[in-house]
Structure 1
Amino acid sequence: MSSVPKNKNELVLAINSIFPKLLADYRQIPEELSREIGVEGNVKGTQISVCDTVAYLIGWGQLVLKWYTLKSQGKQVDFPETGYKWNELGLLAESFHRKYQHWSYEELLIDLESTTDKVLLLISTLSDDELYGVEWYEKWTLGRMIQFNTSSPMKNMRTKVRRFSRKFT
C-alpha cells in the first residue's frame, strides 16, 4: 500500500492499521504519567503531555465529523475551525488541550476510540467517488482531508508517545 490512501479501502486500512497500535501504546502508559509534560509538541520547541496528544487526535477527528455534517447540510464551514486560520494550527492544538484538560486519561482514550469509530462509520457510508472522486475542500478530496486529520497525525503521535514511554521503561 502506498503511504497516501487513494481509495476508500486504503483509507480504512490506513486508519485500522495505525489506530489499534496507537491505542495499545497509550494503554501501556500509566495514568500517573499521562499528564507528565515530556512529549514533543506540535509547535516547534514545545512539550506537551500524553493526555494532550489524545486531546489533539480527538479534536481533529471531531472537526472532520463537524466539517462533513455542516457541508452535507449545505452550511458554511470555517476551515480549519471558527476563529482559527490554517497558519494558526498551534493555537488550535492548544485549544484542544484546554478543552480536554480536566478529562481523565481513561475518558480521553474512550472518546478517542469513539471518535475514530464515528469517522470509520462515516467513511463506510460514502462511496469511493464521494471520498476521492471530487474536490471537497479547495483542491483536496474528502478522503484526503480525513487522512490528513486521522491516520497521519495518529502515526505522528504514535512515534512521539513511544519516544516518551521509553523514558520510563
Structure 2
Amino acid sequence: MAIPNSKQELIDAIDGSYAKLLQELAQVPPSLARAPVLEGHVKGTRMSVCDLLAYLLGWNVLVLHWHAQLRDGRRIEDIAFPAEGFTWNALGKLAQRFYADYAELGMDALLQRLDVAKNQLLALVEAHDDAQLYGQPWYTHYTMGRMIQFNTSSPYANARTRLRAWRKTR
C-alpha cells in the first residue's frame, strides 16, 4: 500500500489495513491466542497473538496520549516521545511493556479495546484537515499524518503479515 499523503488516504489506509487484520485474526483458534507462537518484538523472544494485539493497542493508545497532552496545553517539545522512560532505539522494551500492560486481557477484550482506540484515532484524523495532517512537520521532520500512520495502518499491516506467515507454518 502506498504511503498516505492526504486525510482521505490515511483514513482509507487505517480502515483497510484494520479490516484485513481482523480477517486474519478471525482465523486464530482461541486455544492458541495466548500461546507464544510468533516472533517477538525483541530479538530471540516469542509472543502470543494476544501480545501482538497488546502491542497494537499500546501504540494506538500512546498516539492518543500524545494528542491529549497537546489538547491539555503541553508543547510538543515537552512530550516524551515515544513514551516516558523509553527511547526510539529501545522499542522492544516498550513492546514488552505493552504486553505486560494488557496481559490480563483475553483476545476478545483486546480486540474490543483496539477497535475503540482505532475509532478514536479515526475521529482524531477527521478533526484535522490535509494541511494540519500533512502540511508541516509535527514531530521532528514527520507530519502528524505520518506519525499516525506509523502507529496504525503500518503496524496493522505488519501484524497481518506475521499472522499469515505463522498460519502457513501450522
The TM-score normalised by the length of structure 1 is 0.94
**Deviation, structure 1 residue 74:** 2.4
Q: How far 1:33 moved relative to its partner?
A: 0.5
Q: Give unpaired runs (5+ residues) of structure 2.
A: none
Q: Which residue of 1 aligns with 2:59?
A: 60
**Aligned equivalent of 1:83, options 78, 82, 85:** 85
The 1-side partners of 2:72 and 2:142 are apart by 19
Q: Deviations over 1:51-83 (max 9, x none)?
A: 000000000000111111112332131100011
Equivalence map 1:9-24=2 (5 Å): 9-24=8-23
More off after superposition, 156-165 vs 139-148: 156-165
Give unpaired runs (5+ residues) of structure 1.
Answer: none
Whole-Å separation in 1 of the counterparts to 2:72 and 2:136: 17
Q: How high is the sequence identity, in percent, across the aligned residues?
A: 43
**What pairs with 1:1-169 in structure 2 (closer than 5 Å)?**
3-75=2-74, 76-168=78-170
Superposed CA RMSD: 1.2
SS of the equivalent of 2:138 reads strand
User: How many angstroms apart in 1 are the aligned matches of 2:70 and 2:143?
Assistant: 13
Q: Distance between the aligned counterparts of 2:39 and 2:159, measured in 1? A: 9
* Aligned length in residues: 167
Aligned mates of 1:104, 1:50 — CA distance in 2: 10
TM-score when normalising by structure 2: 0.94
